[in-house]
Amino acid sequence: MADLHKQWQIDALFVADAALYTEDNLQMIVSFRWVYRVTATLTAAK
């Protein structure tokens, strides 16, 4: 997402699945507008 944002210089809403949900990824995209879907088994989703 960071590379895409850098290459295209767009103001976009990024959509991702649960694979995005890691501490490193969340810290990297803190300044982006994004939504994601987590699995129902994830404690945070409950």
Q: CA–CA distance from 39 to each of 2, 5, 46 (Å)?
A: 24, 26, 10
- The reported pLDDT for the residue numbered 11 is 77
Asked if 1 and 27 count as a contact pair (C-beta separation under 8 A), the reply is no
- The reported pLDDT for the residue numbered 46 is 56
- The two structure tokens encoding residue 15: 């959509």
Asked if 44 and 38 count as a contact pair (C-beta separation under 8 A), the reply is yes
What is the pTM for the complete model shown?
0.49
pLDDT tens, 6-45? 787 777 788 887 787 788 878 877 778 877 776 677 666 5
- The reported pLDDT for the residue numbered 25 is 78
Report the percentage of the chain scoring pLDDT > 90.
0
- The reported pLDDT for the residue numbered 45 is 58
